[in-house]
Structure 1
Amino acid sequence: MNIDFINIGPIQKANINLSKKLTIFCGENNTGKTYINYSIYSLLKTAFNLVPDFMASHVDEIKEQGIYQIDMRHFFDQRFESLIKKIEKNYLDMLPFTFATNQDFFKDSQIQLHFNKELLSEYSYKKEYNDSLVVGKNKKVLEIEKQTDSPIVMVTLLEKGVPDRLLAEKLSETILKIIFGDVFGKTFLLPAERTGINLFFKELNVNRNVFIDNLNKLEKKRSRQIDLFEFMDDIISRYPLPISDFIYFLNDLEYLKRQKSEYKSLATELQRKIVKGSYRIEDKDVYFQPYRSGKKKLNLHIASSTAKTFFSLVFYLEHMAEKGDYLIIDEPELNLHPDNQRNIARIIARLINKDIRVIISTHSDYILRELNNLILLNEKFKGRSKLMKKYKYSEEELMSTDSIAPYLFGDHAVHPMEMSREEGIIAKTFDSVINSMNESADDIYYKKREHVDNA
């Protein structure tokens, strides 16, 4: 999938290719990286939340016939382009909510989605799909089945009286997942504000409960009907969508911790190599237990800045991560020593090699240089094995330039960064700053040395 973003914040135009395993955004401050990160998050998260009118015409026939067939070949021939337009419109309608601002701010914004229609058609033909619609106490009212190597989706209505909108929504979701299931994966975003949010989310909950108690008393006195939880959710929703979603994620830890992910080993590695400790969730509190501290545990708010920053990533890998996910990390280098910036680069490489699609925005020259090491080591050459052993690289960390899409932000535009198998990612944005700094340091050193020598 290629996306053209037009007039999004400071960005006049950006073409982003999301078909790569690793997408990298670099550039100076205030050049629009967060705007594009949030825009991608919103698109991936809400693509399946279309108004169901594009499938509404099938509902009457399903209710009349009971068993109904949808031919995906007909859909691709006659309705694919209109579906893309609806996804684009849905994204634009969501922009004010995504950024928690007024609609006029995005009045000139546009988005254009570009897909390989033939490839998607082939994918949907081969895909096997089974689903159902359940209402009430586990009452199944609709079954949906598509066999592999078939264009036909079989829809069976099991009960009468199912609301038209519910049927249309389920059909819309089905068609979208059959066509785009591997394109619009589950998305998890770690905002740059994660360290602070990890600290205040509990206080937000406490204040929320106190506020609700007080409003309850007020409601009883005045006999007013107030949906208190909806009222507080409205307050949280005044943050940009990725921030409010991150707060909801933290509020849901007790439930989410019951799940187990196949990426737990990477969470363990991250704790061992970077945060030097483990996390525990007890009675809605998050604790950090440093290694070599015996059984002593710390409330997260008094743990190190690194422990605070990486809690959410560790939790995601341990309990939530699934193959095909999009993981968006704003500044993965946050609060990290340069050596650990290299370590997080290696963990990102292991993630993409285990089918997690990663998008990062970074100011770290260390991360890019370490990724370049992994690119260069991906090809066989004399002495490679000795180097890998010496610097403790593993085959699971290596990657090719074909799996990476790096972009440079600046001057209201976004440009692909150069890459080669011989050098990896050519990061001129960092090189120019480093060269300038070295030049000024040399000038200062030698001028002072000259003064001392002449004294």
Structure 2
Amino acid sequence: MRNEKSIKLTVSGSSLSDSLSTGHFLMKVEIRNLGVIKKAEIDLKPLTVFIGGNGEGKTWAAYTLSAIFGQQGYGHYLKAYLDGNTQQAYPTLDSALQQLFEEGNAQIDMIQFANDYAENYIKDVARLTPNRMRSFMATERANFNDLEVHLNLAETKAEFLEKIKAASVHREISLNRKNSLESLNAIKETGDKILYFYSEGDLLKKLPEKAIQQFVVREIFQILHRAFYAYIYTFPTERTAFITLPVQRRKVRIEELLTDTDQSEVEQRGTSFIEPVNNFFDMILHSYQKEHRRRREEEINKNPQLGEYVKLADFLEKEILQGTVAFETAEVRDELLFQPKENTKLEMPIVSSMVKELAPLVLCLRYLVEPYELLIIDEPEMNLHPAAQVEIAEFLAMLVNAGLHVLITTHSPYIVDHLANLMQAAKHEDPDSIKEMFYLERTEAFISQEKVSVYLFEDGTAKNIIREEGTINWETFGKVSDDVSQIYASLLKVKD
């Protein structure tokens, strides 16, 4: 999922620094003509919440953002650029390529490059998104021809440039020959604004010009793209069923699960899950891999912040799941088990629905997530008791305060109402004195109002419903409660 590989070439090393401080990262997004959504203007903040009735476009909006900011958006744009199918030109990039071909080395000031091109880059990515939304959403019937997505980075440009400066790259491309000194390298150190390219030996003469261009463009675009969100993990509503399946390959086709359809026939027909579900499978697959878990331990030793995410996974298990989620080595493959008490271990298919709901989040925090990555969670309240819904609201705020970004869709009045409590608590002059009022009793769950946006999707648009004082005005659920009470009162009158 994170590593790039080539059959003929060896590629190694690339990372994003964790040295940034947690900020109030903000992007303004305008979505037009997406299903029932005619026009929606959204401020994406560290914690973004989409609410509204069924069929109002919440999930489609969340998944469209995933299509733009996720690695699929970057990969699709990279290919389009190399094929000459983008609108935006990058003269600085062209000059660096020419210098590399002529002199064997080149450098790009990535701060200046991002300042000049970042906003146009992501706008160009968004412009191409409608062309692949049918494939992304695995549909032949939905129409995305009129979809428009516009983005504005102006209010958060300074923090964006800090992320560019904090990025580090150590990438090498070389011929697959033992003891070969022929290589092409890309180097950028954390805190350095310059991205260097240089060759060793005669590799530039032996590689096709297209391969060299692809190497250079990929490194530059990836720095830009990951400065928006380092990576995106999606938790679709299907997660509670699919966490019970042993994951053996990257993409799982629905006919393989439900019928005996021949794989070649399935591939020919092209029926697959939507990309957010495939992203979920990738996440679980990497969690299953022993080598990946071993590398994670090494990364934690180098980066203390990753250890904080492991502690959050432990906290989720102890305080909400009240048991542990762990792998146990079996004869054929590792098996994911839940241990509610010392002498009891249960397979995933037979655990409670709450464990199935939250186990993927445990795995993501423990084995995968890094600072400034985005978690898109569709209905985190699924299968949770109201008390657990309140707890998960506090826990998601803790994730944001630990440097992650979270976007959720929800129908839960408990989550939204309690979010208002958490924002009010963050304003209290003595947070420790009030923490016992809250379910998890952690001041880390108190979240600044500046980090939160809540949007009500209805009537073809999205409306910001956080009032200036921090209360949340959502009549869509309050009306239902009033209706139920009114019906009961009316029935009592009829009885009398």
TM-score range with shorter-chain normalisation? 0.7 to 0.9
How far apart are the structure 1 equivalents of 2:422 and 2:444? 10
SS of match in other structure, 2:486: helix
Map of 2:483 onto structure 1: 436
Secondary structure in 2 aligned to 1:42? helix
8 Å CA contact retained: 2:378, 2:409: yes
Question: 1:390 Cα deviation (Å)?
Answer: 4.5
Alignment of 1:63-78 (within 5 A): 63-72=101-110, 75=113
User: How many Å separate the matches in 2 of 1:27 and 1:352?
Assistant: 23
Q: Which amino acid aligns with 1:145?
A: I
Shift of 1:201: 5.4
* Structure 1 contact 28–410 (Cα < 8 Å) conserved: yes
Amino acid paired to 1:245 = N
Residue of structure 1 in register with 2:272 after alignment:
238
Contact 2:253 2:271 survives alignment (8 Å)? no
The separation in 2 between residues aligned to 1:355 and 1:290, in whole angstroms, is 29
* SS of equivalent to 2:479: helix
Amino acid corresponding to residue 417 of structure 1 in structure 2 = I
Moved more, 63-72 or 196-205: 196-205
C-alpha spacing 1:328/1:84, structure 2 compared with 1 (3 Å): closer
What is the CA-CA distance between 1:311 and the residue it aligns to? 1.5
- Quote how far apart the aligned CAs of 1:196 are: 1.7
Answer whether contact 2:118 2:224 (CA < 8 A) is retained. Answer: no
Does 2:175 align with 1:131?
no
* Alignment match, 2:428: 380
The structure 2 residue matched to 1:168, chosen from 185, 204, 213, is 213
1:12 paired residue number = 38
1:148 Cα offset (Å): 7.0
Partner of 1:307: 355
1:30 match: secondary structure: coil
Q: Is the 8 A contact 1:288 1:307 kept in 2?
A: no
**Contact preservation (8 Å) 1:401, 1:419:** no
Contact 1:191 1:242 in 2 (8 A): yes
> More displaced, 243-252 or 148-157?
148-157
Give the equivalent residue in structure 1 for 2:20: none
Q: Which has the larger radius of gyration?
A: 1
Residue 318 of structure 2 corresponds to 272
Label 1:310 to 1:122 Cα distance change in 2 as closer, same or farther (>3 A). Answer: closer
Give the Å deviation of 1:369. Answer: 1.8
Alignment partner for residue 199 of structure 1, among 228, 235, 244?
A: 244
Matches of 2:464 and 2:59, distance apart in 1: 17
Partner of 1:48: 74
Could you tell me which of 372, 376, 380 is aligned with 1:328? 376
2: CA distance, partners of 1:430 / 1:72: 47
Q: Distance in 2 between matches of 1:194 and 1:34?
A: 14
Shift of 1:7: 1.1
Q: Deviations over 1:333-365 (max 9, x none)?
A: 010000100110111010000011000000001
Q: Does the 8 Å CA contact 1:21/1:404 hold for their aligned counterparts?
A: yes
Q: What does the per-residue CA deviation read over 1:79-120, in whole Å, with 9 as the maximum and x for residues that have no partner? A: 556534531233222212111123871111112222229537
Per the normalisation by structure 1, the TM-score is 0.83
Matched pairs, number: 431
Partner of 2:151: 113
Q: 1:143 deviation in Å?
A: 2.2
After superposition, give the CA deviation of every residue in 1:151-173 in whole Å (9 maximum; x if it has no partner): 64322122332333332233223
Normalising by structure 2, what TM-score? 0.77
2:376–2:406 Cα contact (<8 Å) kept:
yes
Task: Give the gaps of 5 or more residues in structure 1.
Answer: 216-227
148-157 vs 323-332, which deviates more? 148-157
Q: CA RMSD in A?
A: 3.4
Shift of 1:406: 0.7
Please give the per-residue CA displacement for 1:139-194, whole angstroms capped at 9, x wherever unaligned. Answer: 77222234677664322122332333332233223323444433132110100111
Which SS does the other structure have where 1:373 is aligned? helix
Pick aligned residue for 1:97 from 135, 140, 146: 135
User: 2: distance between equivalents of 1:59 and 1:40?
Assistant: 31
Q: Deviations over 1:261-297 (max 9, x none)?
A: 42111111211222222223234454433423x3222
Query: For residues 43-102 of structure 1, what are the alpha-carbon distances to aligned partners after superposition, in whole Å with 9 as ceiling and x for unaligned?
Result: 111342222435567534412210123345774687556534531233222212111123
Measured in 2, the distance between the counterparts of 1:207 and 1:353 equals 41
The correspondence for 2:57, drawn from 9, 12, 32, is 32
Task: Decide whether the 8 Å contact of 1:257 with 1:319 is kept in 2.
Answer: yes
Distance 1:170 1:7, change over 3 A: same
Taking structure 1 as reference, are residues 368 and 156 closer, same or farther at Cα in structure 2, changes over 3 Å only? same
Which residue matches 1:416? Answer: 464
Give the counterpart letter for 1:172 in structure 2: V
What's the offset of the Cα at 1:418?
2.6
Task: Using the aligned pairs only, state the percent identity.
Answer: 24
Q: Quick check: 67-76 or 260-269, which moved more?
A: 67-76
Conserved in 2, the CA contact under 8 Å of 1:132 and 1:141?
no
